[in-house]
Structure 1
Amino acid sequence: MSVVDDKTVVRQYFNSTGFDRWQRIYGNGEVNRVQRDIRDGHQQTVDRVLEWLQADGNLGGLMVCDAGCGVGSLSIPLGDAGAIVSASDISEKMVAEASQRARNQLITRASNINFMAQDLEKLTGRYHTVICLDVLIHYPQNQAAEMISHLCSLAENRIILSFAPKTLALSILKKIGEFFPGPSKTTRAYQHREADIIKILSDNGFTVSRESMISTRFYFSRLLEAIRC
Structure 2
Amino acid sequence: MSAYATTLTRVEDYFDRSATTVWERLTSDAPVSGVRATVRAGRDKMRALMLDQVPADLTGLRILDAGCGTGAMAVELAARGADVLAIDISPALVEIAQKRMPEGLAGRIDWRSGDMTDPALGQFDHALAMDSMIYYTSNDLAQIMGRMTPRLSGKFVFTLAPRTPLLMAMFRIGKLFPRKDRSPVMIPHASKDVQRAIHDTGLAGHLADVGRVNSGFYISNAFTFESQRP
Same fold (TM over 0.5): yes
Of the three residues 161, 168, 171, the one matched with 1:171 is 168
Partner of residue 59, structure 2: 60
* Secondary structure of the corresponding residue to residue 53 of structure 2: helix
Give the letter for the 1:144 counterpart: L
Partner of residue 94, structure 1: 93
8 Å Cα contact 2:139/2:197 also seen in 1 = no
Say if 1:184 and 1:57 are closer, same or farther in 2 by CA, change over 3 A. Answer: closer
Cα distance between partner residues in 1 of 2:183 and 2:164: 23
Give the letter for the 2:172 counterpart: K
Say if 1:177 and 1:2 are closer, same or farther in 2 by CA, change over 3 A. Answer: farther
Q: How far does the alpha carbon of each residue in 1:95-126 deviate from its partner, in whole angstroms, 9 at most, with x for none?
A: 11111111xx242x221110100112324311
Give the letter for the 1:164 counterpart: A
8 Å Cα contact 1:152/1:204 also seen in 2 = no
Partner of residue 5, structure 1: 6
8 Å Cα contact 2:57/2:80 also seen in 1 = no
Partner of residue 117, structure 1: 113
Give the superposition deviation at 1:207: 1.4
Say if 1:177 and 1:24 are closer, same or farther in 2 by CA, change over 3 A. Answer: same
TM-score, structure 2 as length reference: 0.88
Of the three residues 129, 134, 157, the one matched with 1:160 is 157
* Secondary structure of the corresponding residue to residue 107 of structure 2: helix
8 Å Cα contact 2:85/2:110 also seen in 1 = yes
Give the superposition deviation at 1:156: 1.4
Partner of residue 194, structure 2: 197
Partner of residue 82, structure 1: 81
* Secondary structure of the corresponding residue to residue 190 of structure 1: coil
- Moved >6 Å (runs of 4+): none
Give the superposition deviation at 1:186: 4.1
Say if 1:200 and 1:5 are closer, same or farther in 2 by CA, change over 3 A. Answer: closer
Give the superposition deviation at 1:210: 6.1
8 Å Cα contact 2:53/2:157 also seen in 1 = no
Cα distance between partner residues in 2 of 1:57 and 1:32: 33
> What is the number of equivalent residue pairs in this alignment?
224
* Secondary structure of the corresponding residue to residue 49 of structure 2: helix
8 Å Cα contact 1:148/1:200 also seen in 2 = no
Give the superposition deviation at 1:228: 3.3
Say if 1:210 and 1:119 are closer, same or farther in 2 by CA, change over 3 A. Answer: same
Give aligned-pair identity as a percent.
25
Give the letter for the 1:189 counterpart: M
Give the superposition deviation at 1:77: 1.0
Of the three residues 132, 136, 140, the one matched with 2:133 is 136
8 Å Cα contact 1:212/1:224 also seen in 2 = yes
Give the superposition deviation at 1:135: 1.2
State the superposition RMSD in angstroms. Answer: 2.3
Structure 1 gaps of 5+ residues are none
